[in-house]
Structure 1
Amino acid sequence: MSNPVKILVIGATGYLGGIIVDRLLTHPQASRFAITAFARSDEKAKKIEAAGLGLKATSGDLSALTEATAKSDVVFNVASSDNLPLVQAILDGAKKHFAATKVPVVLIHTSGSAIVADQAMGEYASDKVYDDSDSAYLDAIPVQQWHRNVDIPIAAAHNEGEFVASDVSLPKVLIDFGMLQGYIKAYVTAPPMIWGLATGKLVDAGLQNPVQTGLLVIGRFSVLRGQYGRFGPQKNLWSTIEVHDLADLHVALFNQAVLEGKKIAGGSAYYFSANGDVATADWAPLVAKALHKYGALKSAEITPFSAEELKKWPVLGAFSVNSRCSDSRSRSLGWKPRPDKTGKEYLQSIDENIKLMVQQPNDFGASWGSFQLPA
């Protein structure tokens, strides 16, 4: 038997990460995989292993993450799209792996379509749609934009080969398609608004919160605030993707880059996913009504956020911007989202998500969606 494919998943019990793990556990070639989940605590790691799903688990600080990466062939980072120290720990581990084996670690990293978000603050709907094949535009997005503080170093690591270190000038296409590479092979997805109740082995084991992360964030904040909030008239638009369809895109990248050894675009290339747009004015009132319906809010009234609230909790600004995308590059892999999982179905799913959310403890899933409000 050939050596197993050693896979490390960071964020394995998260909303998207849990479905990716489920897909790997049920993959036609699952017997070839040795999957390890990197958890935030020893307690969580023990729970993952005790679930009997065939997963190993490890935990620790960033130095432990570096060591775990150094022992892996493939890393899925589904834990954070903005945590540069975490990503640097992954890159440090990949460097150690490459120094020992001369084989790059494959990194499949989840960023987000907020890289193309504007500053609409709910005041208007943009007609601009960004395609993942528009490399010239996407490469020029500054480091100050959401997620780019992490995406740019990942692309640099992908390209950090001996030719890059020299002054030899090579066409960018050689870098994009893996003909020149560094100590990692990086493939970066940038999903828009992700929706749908998660399902799978980790949900069944009670390890993964099935509720849409965006709704956890805005829902829990609204409960603590005592009222649903808004920026402007909520005219802004977000593209949407159903969470299982998005997990399938990650697995498609894994299949082609790892199992099939295909030369697909990596490094600075993005893989978008989109299946219909929704206006905040259409989905936000449904959230407010559901929170009121299930007893979490005294009314479904929506009131404006203050400047102080935005300053204190800048993540709230994500609900006020336009972020519209299309996914030519992703579909070129043979992947495509299901036709019955569009923005329309997202709106229909909100009530069920909120009903489940209000029954849960506030510390279950989406730690970055937990807030402390002033007394």
Structure 2
Amino acid sequence: MSTGKKVLIVGPGFIGWNVLDLLVAEGYTVTGFVRRDEHAEQIKASGASAVMGDLGDKAKIAEQTVKHDIVFHTATADHLPSAEAILEGVKQRAMKGQSTIYIHTSGTSVLDDGAAGSIKSDKVYHDNEKSEIDSVPDDAPHREIDLAITKAQKELGEKAKIAIMIPPLIYGFNPNHKRLTIQIPTLTRFALKHGYAAHVGKGAAVESNIHVMDLARAYIVLLHHLEKASPAQTLENPYYFCESTGSNEPSWHDIATLIGESLHSAGKIQDPKPKELTENLYGDVFGPYTGAVIGLNSRSRAVRLRELGWKPREKDWKRSYIEDELPEILKEETGDFKGYQGTVAS
């Protein structure tokens, strides 16, 4: 149980709201930094407080960080100013002699090999081998933010405990929240609009995956570890993968096949067979980032979380899609769908 420490969650959305629920259940005092009044009311109903603001409001984020012992950033892996604001708040606390735990959310798109669906890679990254993660290019997706955080970690030394959670493809559905993830639902909406399921290139590339509830529990396991660990221990390696698949990762062709077969069975499309996604239609999925988002090889192993006692226990991606996500998507009006317009964490 919590010792009464105060927690700030920047962006308690699809991932962070689930983390928030678990923290509240353990007795932490939780504040969510949110953009919309509607969501503020939702997290208040979950037992947290809400502060209204935008990710670009660096002064406000830094101010809120100073007031909290623990900070999670779960809004996006691609917004440097908000991460810098949290780090500024952590530094201000350090100047007062106050230690902070900061857990940032990155994503395994940082491992993108540029395959664009052409091949399945044999390269697998392990989070207990820091050098493997540090071997990725500085201009890899999410890497700019990750490097800013690791630089600040070195500067702060033992004055803060900082970790970077790096989830892969996230799936799953919490019926209490009614929120869907990004990649597979976007591909499903594309299929509903165009009449076929699609994949980039040959669809041969593979990505590890994780159910959002298993991921939420992983954040709590990581938090408890950081609470107990010495500051010196946390400096050795900030990276934590979180995957449930092991070597049984689906290819993007496998994912498109399930989408096609499921929509065909539901009477929504005539042909269940997936097809290659042509570049002129990238705007109806992830725009110029399509190749990196749904054509990458991204194979990760959560060695460190398993060593801490975490284990996945939710439905696999296929069962979750058929039983939970697809029924929700079929309730939507997707005829005018024009692709996903936000950023993708994984």
1: distance between equivalents of 2:329 and 2:277?
22
Structure 2 counterparts to residues 131-170 of structure 1, below 5 A = 131-161=126-156
| 2:215 paired with 1:246 | yes
Percent identity for Structure 1 against Structure 2: 30
Offset from partner CA, 1:77-102 (integer Å, 9 cap, x none) = 11101111221222222223333x32
* Equivalent in the alignment of 2:318: 347
Unaligned 5+ residue runs, structure 2?
none
Distance 2:72 2:235 in 1: 14
Provide the residue aligned with 1:321 in structure 2. Answer: 296
Give the direction of change, closer, same or farther, for the CA distance of 1:87–1:158 in structure 2 (3 Å limit): same
Root-mean-square deviation (CA), in Å?
A: 2.7
Aligned-partner SS, 1:189:
strand
| Partner residue, 1:8 | 8
CA contact (8 A) 1:237 1:279 kept: yes
Q: Offset at 1:132?
A: 0.7
Residue aligned with 1:160, SS: helix
Task: Find the counterpart in structure 2 of residue 336 from structure 1.
Answer: 311
SS in 2 for 1:142: coil
Q: How big is the shift at 1:215? A: 2.2
**1:324 maps to amino acid:** R
Q: TM-score, normalised by structure 2?
A: 0.84
Q: Secondary structure at the match of 1:282?
A: helix
Cα displacement (A) at 1:187: 0.8
- In 1, the alpha carbon distance for the partners of 2:91 and 2:128 equals 29
Cα distance in 2 for residues equivalent to 1:80 and 1:236: 24
Q: Give 1:313 deviation, angstroms.
A: 0.9
Bigger drift between 118-127 and 293-302 goes to 293-302
Which runs of 5 or more residues in structure 1 are unaligned?
162-179, 363-367
Is 2:23 the partner of 1:24? yes
The answer on whether the counterparts of 1:271 and 1:329 sit within 8 Å (CA) in structure 2 is: yes
In structure 2, the CA distance between the partners of 1:92 and 1:309, relative to structure 1 (3 Å rule), is farther
Cα displacement (A) at 1:296:
5.6
Cα distance, 1:291 vs. partner?
Answer: 3.7
Paired with 1:245 and 1:46, the residues of 2 have a C-alpha distance of 25
Q: How many angstroms apart in 2 are the aligned matches of 1:191 and 1:160? A: 26
C-alpha separation between the residues in 1 aligned to 2:107 and 2:294? 14
Q: Which of residues 43, 64, 67 is equivalent to 2:60?
A: 64
* Equivalent pairs, count: 326
Match in the other structure for 1:127: 122
Q: Supply the AA of the counterpart residue of 1:334.
A: G
Pairing 1:262-281 to 2, within 5 Å after superposition:
262-263=230-231, 264-266=233-235, 269-276=238-245, 277-281=249-253
2:75 is aligned to: 79
> What are the within-5 Å matches in structure 2 for residues 221-232 of structure 1?
221-224=190-193, 227-232=196-201
SS in 2 for 1:159: helix
Equivalent residue number for residue 211 of structure 1: 180
| Secondary structure in structure 2 of the residue aligned to 1:121 | coil
Query: What is the one-letter code of the residue matched to 1:319?
Result: I
For residues 21-79 of structure 1, give each alpha carbon's deviation from its aligned partner in whole angstroms, at most 9, with x where no partner exists: 1211222xx1xx21001111344324432x2x321001123132222112111111111
Cα pair distance change 1:267/1:92, threshold 3 Å: farther
Q: Kindly provide the amino acid, as one letter, of the partner of residue 147 in structure 1.
A: H
8 Å contact kept, 2:158–2:235: no
